[in-house]
C-alpha cells in the first residue's frame, strides 16, 4: 500500500520525463506522434490501475485512519517531511483524478488538439496529473503548497499553446490570479507552521488549533482562505475561470473543472477546518455569504448566456455553472457540520464527473460544427441533435439534467446535504443567517434547472434538416472515454453510500479534533 501510493504520485512525473526523451527504436512505430500519445495512455492507465488497487486494498472498516503512509525526513532544519497518506476524504479524489486523466489521454490519442509537439502535450498532462495527485496525498503543509503550485505551469501552457481564441490573455489571467493567491496562502501556511512548531498536517489536525491563539488562527484562515478561494473559485475571485475554460482545449477544460478546482475546496477541508477551527468559525458566515452569491451569480450569468441573441458560448456557460456548483461546496464547508462537509465532498466528486462529461460533449459539438456559440448552434429552429445525432443529443441531455441535480443522479445528493447542513449549522454559528443562505441556495437550484433546460431545448430539439454533409454521431473512442463518467454519475446517484461510507467517518474525526 505504501508503494502503491508513492507510485501513484511519482509515476506520472517519471512518465513525463520519458515522454520528452527519444523513443527506443522498437517503440517508435510509423508515427512518432502517435507513439508518444500511446505512451501517455499507458502511463495514465497504469496510474489508474494502481489507484484502483489502492482503493481495493484500503481498509474500508476504518476510513478515518490514514493509510498507505510514508513518512521520511526531508528538510530536518524546518522539520519538513515527505509525508504521504490517504483516508476516506482523499481516496475518492485520487481515484477521480486518475480516472479523468486517463480518459483525457485516451481521448487525445484519437483527437489531439491543434498545437505544437505531441511530446510536450503528453508531458504537460502527466506533470499536471502528478501535481494534482500529490496535492491529495501529501500530509505536510509545505509539500502541499509545492504540489498545489506544481499544476499551474502545465495548465498555463496547455491553454496558451493548445487553446482556441484569445488563449494568451486567458492563460495570463489564469496564472496571475492563481500565483497571487498562492503567495498569500504561503504566508498563512508558514504562520501556522512556525507558530505551532510543525508542518505535519496530521499532528496539527489532532491538536485541533489548541496550540494556536485565536488571532493567529484568524490571520491564517484569511491568508490561506484567499489562496484556496481563488483556485476553487469563489465569487468574486472567479473571473479567470470563464476565460480559461473558453480558451482551453477540451482535455484542458475537463482537467481544470474535474480535478483542479477540487484542490481549493480540499484545502479548506483538510487544512482550515481541523487546524484552525476558531478562525474558520469567525469567517464561516462570510464564506457562506460569498458562496450563495456565487450560486446566484453563476446561475444568472448562465441564463444571460443561454437567451437567444446573446451570442453565448456553450463552454463559457458551463464554466459559469461551475462557479454556482462550487458555491454549494463552499456553503457545505461553511456550515462546519458533518452533514454539510460530507455534502461538500460528495458535490466535489459529482461535479468532477458531470462537468467533465459536459466539457467532453461540448468539445465534440465544437469539433463537429466548428463553433460553441449557442445562437449559431440553435439557428432558426434548433440544432436538432436528437434528430441529427441522437446519441450525442441524448448524452448531452443526460449530463444537463445530472448537473441540475435530478434525484437519482450524482448531482442531487451533494446539493441536498449542503442545504441540510445550512439548516442546522455548527454550534456558535448564526442559525438565522444560515437559514437565509439555505433559502438562497435552494432558489439557485431552480435557476440551475432553468438554464440547463433552455440549453437542452435550444441545442437538442428542433426540426431535422437535410444537410449535404451529415454530422457524425458518437464515435467509438468517444463512447469509451465518456461511458465511465455517465455510469459513475448514475452509480453515485443511486448508491450514495459508496462515497458517504468513506467520507463520513473521516469527516467526523476531522471535526472532532482527530478523535474518532
Kindly report, residue by residue over 125-181, the tens digit of the pLDDT.
999 999 999 999 999 999 999 998 899 899 999 998 888 778 888 888 888 888 888
Residue 513 or residue 289, greater confidence:
289
Rounded Cα gap, residues 48 and 56, in angstroms: 12
Asked if 276 contacts 209 with a C-beta cutoff of 8 angstroms, the reply is yes
464 has a pLDDT exceeding 80: no
DSSP 138: B
Residues 6 or more apart in contact with residue 383 via CB below 8 angstroms: 369, 377, 458, 459, 460, 462
Check residue 475 and give its pLDDT: 86
Exposure of 12 in the CB half-sphere (CA atoms within 13 A): 32
* Average pLDDT of the residues of the chain: 88
Q: CA angle, corner 77, sides to 76 and 82, nearest 5?
A: 35
397 has a pLDDT exceeding 60: yes
Average pLDDT over residues 14-27: 76
Check residue 63 and give its pLDDT: 87
Check residue 516 and give its pLDDT: 47
312-370: pLDDT as tens digits: 888 889 999 999 999 999 999 999 999 999 999 999 999 999 999 999 999 888 888 88
240-272: pLDDT as tens digits: 888 888 888 889 999 998 888 899 999 999 999
Residue 289: all three cell numbers together: 455569504
Q: What percent of the chain has pLDDT over 90?
A: 46
Check residue 512 and give its pLDDT: 81
Q: Is the peptide bond before 236 cis (omega within 30 degrees of 0)?
A: yes
Rounded Cα gap, residues 10 and 5, in angstroms: 9
Residue 112: all three cell numbers together: 489531439
188-229: pLDDT as tens digits: 999 998 888 888 888 888 887 788 888 999 999 999 999 999
Check residue 466 and give its pLDDT: 61
Asked if 208 contacts 514 with a C-beta cutoff of 8 angstroms, the reply is yes
- Report the DSSP beta bridge partners of residue 117: none
CA 389 to chain CA mean position, Å: 29
Residues 6 or more apart in contact with residue 3 via CB below 8 angstroms: none
514 has a pLDDT exceeding 60: no
29 has a pLDDT exceeding 60: no
515 has a pLDDT exceeding 50: yes
Please return the burial class of 213, using the count of CB atoms within 10 Å of its CB with bins 0-12, 13-18 and 19+: exposed
H/E segment holding residue 235: none
Residue 305: all three cell numbers together: 448566456
Check residue 100 and give its pLDDT: 95
Average pLDDT over residues 421-440: 91
Check residue 383 and give its pLDDT: 59
381 has a pLDDT exceeding 60: no
Check residue 50 and give its pLDDT: 94
Residue 322: all three cell numbers together: 461551475
Reported confidence tier of residue 32, pLDDT bands at 50, 70, 90: low
What is the signed CA dihedral for 12, 179, 358, 305, rounded to 10 degrees?
Answer: -170
44-59: pLDDT as tens digits: 999 999 999 999 988 8
Amino acid at each position: 500500500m505504501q508503494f502503491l501510493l508513492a507510485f501513484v504520485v511519482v509515476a506520472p512525473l517519471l512518465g513525463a520525463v520519458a515522454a520528452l526523451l527519444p523513443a527506443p527504436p522498437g517503440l517508435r512505430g510509423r508515427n512518432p506522434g502517435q507513439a508518444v500519445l500511446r505512451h501517455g495512455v499507458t502511463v495514465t492507465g497504469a496510474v489508474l490501475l494502481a489507484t484502483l488497487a489502492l482503493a481495493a486494498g484500503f481498509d474500508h472498516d476504518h476510513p478515518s485512519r490514514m493509510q498507505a503512509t510514508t513518512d521520511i525526513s526531508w528538510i530536518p532544519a524546518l522539520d519538513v517531511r515527505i509525508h504521504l497518506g490517504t483516508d476516506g476524504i482523499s481516496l475518492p479524489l485520487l481515484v477521480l483524478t486518475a480516472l479523468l486523466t486517463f480518459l483525457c489521454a485516451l481521448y487525445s490519442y484519437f483527437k489531439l488538439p491543434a498545437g505544437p509537439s505531441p511530446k510536450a502535450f503528453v508531458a504537460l498532462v502527466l506533470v499536471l496529473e502528478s501535481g494534482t495527485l500529490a496535492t491529495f496525498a501529501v500530509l505536510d503543509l509545505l509539500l502541499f503548497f509545492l504540489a498545489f503550485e506544481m499544476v499551474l505551469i502545465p495548465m498555463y501552457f496547455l491553454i496558451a499553446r493548445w487553446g482556441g481564441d484569445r488563449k494568451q490573455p486567458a492563460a495570463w489571467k489564469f496564472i496571475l490570479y492563481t500565483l497571487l493567491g498562492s503567495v498569500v496562502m504561503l504566508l498563512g501556511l508558514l504562520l501556522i507552521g512556525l507558530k505551532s512548531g510543525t508542518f505535519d498536517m496530521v499532528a496539527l489536525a489532532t491538536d485541533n488549533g489548541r496550540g494556536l491563539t485565536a488571532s493567529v488562527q484568524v490571520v491564517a484562515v484569511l491568508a490561506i482562505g484567499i489562496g484556496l478561494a481563488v483556485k476553487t473559485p469563489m465569487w468574486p475571485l472567479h473571473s479567470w475561470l470563464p476565460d480559461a475554460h473558453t480558451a482551453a482545449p477540451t482535455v484542458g477544460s475537463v482537467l481544470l473543472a474535474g480535478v483542479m478546482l477540487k484542490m481549493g475546496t480540499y484545502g479548506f477541508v483538510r487544512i482550515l477546518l481541523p487546524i484552525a477551527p476558531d478562525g474558520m468559525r469567525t469567517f464561516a458566515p462570510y464564506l457562506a455569504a460569498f458562496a450563495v452569491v456565487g450560486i446566484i451569480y453563476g446561475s444568472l450569468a448562465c441564463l444571460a448566456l443561454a437567451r437567444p441573441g446573446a451570442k453565448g458560448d456553450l463552454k463559457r456557460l458551463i464554466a459559469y455553472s461551475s462557479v454556482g456548483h462550487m458555491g454549494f461546496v463552499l456553503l457545505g464547508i461553511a456550515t462546519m457540520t458533518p452533514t454539510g462537509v460530507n455534502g461538500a465532498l460528495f458535490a466535489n466528486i459529482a461535479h468532477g464527473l458531470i462537468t467533465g462529461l459536459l466539457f467532453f460533449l461540448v468539445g465534440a459539438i465544437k469539433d463537429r460544427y466548428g463553433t460553441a456559440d449557442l445562437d449559431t448552434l440553435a439557428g432558426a429552429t434548433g440544432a436538432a441533435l436528437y434528430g441529427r445525432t441522437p446519441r450525442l443529443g441524448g448524452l448531452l441531455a443526460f449530463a444537463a439534467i445530472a448537473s441540475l441535480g435530478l434525484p437519482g443522479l450524482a448531482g442531487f445528493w451533494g446539493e441536498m446535504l449542503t442545504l441540510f447542513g445550512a439548516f442546522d449549522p455548527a454550534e456558535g454559528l448564526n442559525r438565522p443567517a444560515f437559514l437565509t443562505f439555505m433559502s438562497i441556495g435552494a432558489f439557485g437550484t431552480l435557476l440551475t434547472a432553468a438554464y440547463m433546460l433552455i440549453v437542452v431545448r435550444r441545442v437538442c430539439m428542433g426540426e431535422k434538416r437535410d444537410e449535404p454533409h451529415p454530422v457524425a454521431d458518437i464515435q467509438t473512442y468517444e463512447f469509451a472515454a465518456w461511458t465511465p463518467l455517465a455510469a459513475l454519475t448514475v452509480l453515485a446517484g443511486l448508491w450514495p453510500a459508496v462515497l458517504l461510507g468513506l467520507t463520513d467517518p473521516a469527516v467526523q474525526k476531522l471535526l472532532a479534533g482527530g478523535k474518532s
